Amino acid sequence: IILAAKACFARKGFSHAMVVFTVCGIVINTLSTYLDYLVRGDYYDDEANNVNANNGDSGNVSEASKYVALIGALFQVIIMVSSV
């Protein structure tokens, strides 16, 4: 295994590809981890007015959460397509 790793790293450009692959994995996993939090976030229309502050939500989802959900869904689809 060590000889195979040495042979791979001896090739020109392999280390650059390894760094890019690692950074890409870190970015994708970080975004995927926090995507659920962003989509579920308390983006309610009347949050600024503090209406229904006791129970935490009003039931009216703002446009911001819809855009976050759409972007997140597209991000996940792109990841699935690129892995095929």
Residue 67 has pLDDT above 70, yes or no: yes
Each residue of 4-60: pLDDT tens digit? 999 999 999 999 999 988 888 888 888 878 777 766 665 555 555 555 555 555 556
What tokens appear for 7 in the block?
A: 């042979």
For the entire predicted model, the pTM comes to 0.51
Q: Quick one: pLDDT at residue 16?
A: 92
Distance between CA atoms of 72 and 66, rounded to whole angstroms?
A: 10
Distance CA 76, CA 70 (A): 10
Say whether 57 sits in a helix, a strand or coil.
coil
Span 56-65, average pLDDT: 64
Q: What is the pLDDT of residue 4?
A: 93
Q: What is the pLDDT of residue 10?
A: 93
